């Protein structure tokens, strides 16, 4: 059975609107690294794809880490002496530092300020802060609001719990012709931050939904897990199958208009690195290509030296380098359907490269075969693409020696992969090419 996956059958009309609508649906949920918010998010994903949900109990050792207690929150606020809520968790779940321990007391403004995070250089925005592994409590608010608070006594309430529970993650496996896997991972631990990472969750959900209908060469594992500890837990529980992962992408911050940005895997020149870089460089955009560093998202866990998996990070704007990052400005107004659609198309084109890459052998390697006699020269017609198509056929014939894959040829010829693949298909139908060898053993 041949794979029928391609960019053309992965695209969908109004895909950007579908992804945006799902991002908007999950945006209000208060997520953290554990708790009801993660489960609610996974239930929303499960409405689109058949998600397998796993619970890892509190206290479970996962390499050098331990699954923490489960955190949940019902309400939180700060009231002034007139009973007015000057800060209300119900208006924004960013107002409470994630994993804040419960508190209920009356304190002075001076003491309250010791438990407040603001952004003085962005005085109208709420920062996003966490305290996963230290028992603290804090509120987050616009700096302008803090400056306007009167010197009086305040009632502070954080109605939260830290209990024995579990960490939750979900995964969906689309089975292909082989057990070789392509891992696609998104973190599900951030609260109401639209770009980071409602956009990534929504994109992968709709990609998996679309892919479920297709036959593929690779198997595709979609992982939705809390950042850092979730990826570590998955790796600890799946160490034996990690050798199946031949390609991987962490997807985050794909809803804004910046970039695109790609951070390479630790290997630096793995097939996924080459496929993404090739796709972006022929996209007509101005991509930023970053070398690997051990800081960022969950690619740093997948690329840790004990695993060294071929997993890169795909984003639009780079994390930490835009003013909206980890603030209340990362809202639904910051992302847009057209940006989400473009991100989806770039990921789909990358998958197309990985799925379609093959190694061929020229059946008539001694001198050029006569293409005109076979009706192949100018087979794409007299349009503006004819010259590129003809040149692509010459490149494919010359480098199809059992040692070069189609991606190798596309890179060498500096032509889009789709042009090279179409030329190879024409030559194959004309009897001038035959499949030979394994794409994973090809060399440049």
339 is in an annotated binding site: no
**Residues 6+ away with beta carbon under 8 Å from 240:** none
Q: Which two tokens stand for residue 199?
A: 């956009």
β-pairing verdict for 116-117 and 139-140:
parallel
List all residues 6 or more positions away from 284 whose beta carbon is below 8 Å from its beta carbon: none
What is the C-alpha to C-alpha distance for residues 245 and 223, in angstroms, rounded to an integer? 13
CA angle 278, 280, 285 (to 5 degrees): 140
C-alpha span between 54 and 169 (Å, rounded): 5
**Token duo for residue 118:** 């603001």
Contact in structure between 54 and 171 (CB atoms under 8 Å): yes
- Give the integer Cα–Cα distance in Å for 184 and 201: 10
Q: Which two tokens stand for residue 284?
A: 């007509």
Whether residue 326 is annotated as binding a ligand: the answer is yes
How many other C-beta atoms can be found within 10 angstroms of the C-beta atom of residue 386? 14
Contacts of residue 335, Cβ cutoff 8 Å, sequence gap at least 6: 20, 23, 194, 195, 198, 199, 255, 256
- Which helix (DSSP H) or strand (DSSP E) does residue 425 occupy? helix 417-429
**DSSP letter for each residue of 206-224:** HHHHHHTTS--SSEEEEEE
User: Within 13 Å, how many C-alpha atoms sit on residue 282's CB side?
Assistant: 19
d(CA 233, CA 189): 14
Determine the Cα–Cα distance for residues 277 and 289; give it in Å rounded to an integer: 7
Q: Contact 224/188 with Cβ under 8 angstroms?
A: yes
Question: Is 196 assigned to a binding site?
Answer: yes
Q: Annotated binding residues, as ranges?
A: 190, 196, 326
Q: Annotated binding residues for Zn(2+), as ranges?
A: 190, 196, 326
């Amino acid at each position: 059975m041949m794979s029928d996956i391609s960019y053309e059958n992965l695209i969908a009309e109004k895909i950007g609107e579908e992804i945006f609508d799902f991002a908007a649906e999950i945006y209000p949920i208060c997520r953290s690294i554990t708790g009801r918010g993660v489960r609610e998010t996974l239930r929303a994903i499960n409405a689109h794809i058949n998600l397998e949900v796993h619970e890892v109990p509190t206290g479970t050792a996962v390499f050098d880490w331990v699954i923490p207690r489960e955190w949940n929150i019902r309400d939180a606020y700060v009231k002034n002496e007139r009973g007015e809520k000057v800060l209300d968790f119900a208006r924004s779940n960013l107002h409470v530092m994630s994993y804040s321990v419960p508190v209920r007391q009356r304190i002075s403004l001076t003491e309250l300020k010791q438990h407040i995070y603001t952004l003085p250089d962005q005085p109208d925005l709420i920062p996003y802060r966490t305290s996963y592994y230290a028992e603290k409590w804090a509120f987050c608010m616009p700096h302008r609001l803090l400056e306007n608070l009167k010197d009086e006594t305040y009632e502070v309430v954080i109605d939260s719990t830290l209990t024995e529970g579990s960490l939750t993650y979900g995964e969906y496996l689309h089975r292909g012709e082989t057990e070789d896997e392509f891992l696609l991972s998104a973190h599900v631990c951030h609260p109401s931050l639209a770009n980071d990472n409602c956009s990534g969750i929504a994109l992968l959900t709709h990609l998996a939904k679309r892919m479920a209908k297709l036959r593929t060469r690779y198997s595709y594992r979609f992982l939705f897990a809390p950042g850092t500890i979730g990826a570590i837990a998955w790796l600890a529980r799946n160490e034996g199958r990690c050798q199946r992962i031949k390609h991987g992408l962490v997807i985050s911050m794909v809803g804004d208009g910046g970039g695109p940005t790609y951070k390479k895997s630790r290997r630096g020149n793995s097939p996924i690195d080459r496929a993404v870089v090739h796709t972006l460089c022929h996209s007509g955009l101005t991509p930023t290509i970053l070398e690997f560093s051990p800081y960022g998202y969950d690619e740093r866990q997948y690329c840790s030296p004990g695993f060294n998996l071929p997993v890169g990070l795909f984003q639009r704007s780079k994390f930490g380098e835009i003013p909206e990052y980890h603030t209340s400005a990362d809202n639904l107004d910051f992302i847009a359907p057209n940006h989400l659609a473009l991100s989806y198309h770039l990921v789909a084109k990358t998958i197309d490269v990985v799925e379609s890459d093959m190694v061929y052998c020229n059946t008539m390697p001694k001198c050029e075969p006569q293409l005109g006699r076979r009706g192949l020269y100018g087979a794409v017609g007299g349009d503006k693409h004819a010259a590129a198509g003809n040149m692509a056929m010459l490149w494919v014939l010359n480098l199809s020696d059992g040692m070069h894959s189609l991606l190798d040829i596309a890179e060498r010829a500096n032509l889009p992969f789709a042009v090279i693949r179409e030329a190879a298909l024409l030559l194959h139908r004309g009897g001038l090419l035959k499949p030979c060898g394994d794409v994973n053993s090809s060399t440049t």
